[in-house]
Amino acid sequence: MAERVRVKHMMPPGHVRAPAYLRGKTGFVERKLGAFGNPEQLAYGLPAEKIPLVRVRFSMAEVWGSDTEYPNDTLDAEIFAHWLEYPETHDAP
């Protein structure tokens, strides 16, 4: 059973690499990539803490709603762990 995750719906200022179009969207863990320097610190030349990076797979229906071309096509993106939360409900497919 794939692990479900949701990208946090937050809009902090500064350099972040969680794309706005995926914020608040739920997907599942496609693979875990290991820990990488936090780009939100690296971008400013600050010492960066290593944060787990996860490939998350979303359905096009989840990202764009029902008027998408093909709802079952998918979109994968790398999201840092501090941007992920773990939804308790299991209502989505």
Partner 1 sequence: MMPHDHHDHLSPSGHPYRKDNDEPLTYWQCMEIAMRELLIEKGVTTATEIASQIDTMDARSPANGAAVVARAWVDPAFKARLLENASRASREMGFDIGTLRLIALENTEDIHNVVVCTLCSCYPRNLLGLPPDWYKTRAYRSRVVKEPRKVLAEFGLELPAETTVRVHDSTADMRYIVIPVRPDGTENMTEEELAELVSRDSMIGTGIAKLPS
Binding site for partner 1 (CB under 8 A): 17-19, 21, 33, 36, 39, 53, 55, 57, 63-64, 68-70, 72-80
Tell me how far, at minimum, the Cβ of 89 lies from partner 1, in Å.
26
Q: Any residues with CB less than 8 A from the CB of 65 and at least 6 apart, and which?
A: none
Which of residues 34 and 47 has its CB atom nearest to partner 1 in the complex?
34
Which of residues 67 and 89 has its CB atom nearest to partner 1 in the complex?
67
Which of residues 58 and 88 has its CB atom nearest to partner 1 in the complex?
58
Q: Is 47 helix (H, G, I), strand (E, B) or coil?
A: coil
Burial of 30 (0-12, 13-18, 19+ CB in 10 A): middle
